[in-house]
Amino acid sequence: MIKDNLNAVRTSLKSGVQLVAISKYHPVSAVEEAYAEGQRVFGESREQELRIKYDTLPKDIEWHFIGHLQTNKVKYIAPYISMIEAVDSMKLMKEIERQAEKNQRTIDILLELHLAQEETKSGMTPEECRQLLAEGLWREMKHVRICGIMMMASNTDDEAQIRSEFLAARDFFDEVKEQYFKDDDSFSVKSYGMSGDYLIAQECGSNHVRVGSRIFA
Ligand SMILES: *Cc1c(COP(=O)(O)O)cnc(C)c1O
């Protein structure tokens, strides 16, 4: 079933849209099934669960950390993580820089935006994010590479609402790209869209969707 689900999702994606298979809460065997179909990019939201999968599974998997990351957990994933998607503060970014340097590597990150209606969702407001970029500290971080933005839309059936949040994310990406990353080709990732809304997301400019239950459930 994972095989069929995965291939159905792939078929529905526009070319150039990266699929991150979100394997959280699913066993190693589920990742192996997707791996056998050629999937190499997976996302997890808990450090311990990720560690077990990282240790067990083939090393050519690219792991993305998609959940809220506590600063005291950065050191555990820094040796091997490919991308940390939900960076929501300068404090966290500084710790990623510190740990990446220790490991003599560069870690790709995304800036997590809060655009949804729910208060509970994490991420920076556009204003907080503008402020972080304007302060300019990130320019001195040689081991952190800001590759784009990430966000989650409101958990609602109101498609117009979801669409307006995705479009706000796209506009914000364009604004920041123009202002800070015009000549930086690695600033290119618009990470939005999950199982329930990734088709809308890709209509609204997403080029990086995080799909879990649609593949693994
Ligand atoms: C769980 C999760 C997903 C995937 O959600 P599905 O609805 O299972 O596709 C995507 N992004 C984040 C940040 C998640 O926590």
Tell me: the pLDDT tens digits for 124-169? 999 999 999 999 999 999 999 999 999 999 999 999 999 999 999 9
Predicted confidence at residue 105, as pLDDT, reads 98
pLDDT in tens, 97-106: 999 999 999 9
- The pTM assigned to this predicted structure is 0.97
pLDDT in tens, 189-213: 999 999 999 999 999 999 999 999 9
Predicted confidence at residue 120, as pLDDT, reads 73
Amino acid, single-letter form, for residue 81: I
Percent of all residues in the chain with a pLDDT value above 70, rounded to a whole number: 100
| Cα distance between residue 120 and residue 122, in whole Å | 6
Q: Residues enclosing ligand 1, CB less than 6 A?
A: 22, 24, 45, 66-67, 152, 194-196, 210-214
Predicted confidence at residue 121, as pLDDT, reads 73
Atom of ligand 1 at shortest range from CA of 20: 10
Average pLDDT over residues 172-187: 98
On the question of pLDDT at 44 being above 90, the answer is: yes
Instruction: Lowest mean pLDDT of 6-10, 65-69, 120-124, 165-169, name the range.
Output: 120-124
| Cα distance between residue 86 and residue 109, in whole Å | 8
Smallest CA separation from ligand 1 atom 11, residue: 210
User: Separation of 55 CA from ligand 1 center, angstroms?
Assistant: 22
Going by pLDDT thresholds of 50, 70 and 90, the confidence category of residue 116 is confident
User: Separation of 14 CA from ligand 1 center, angstroms?
Assistant: 20
User: Separation of 87 CA from ligand 1 center, angstroms?
Assistant: 16
Average pLDDT over residues 26-31: 98
| Nearest CA among 201, 183, 181, 182 for reference residue 191 | 201
Element (H, E) at 20: strand 18-22
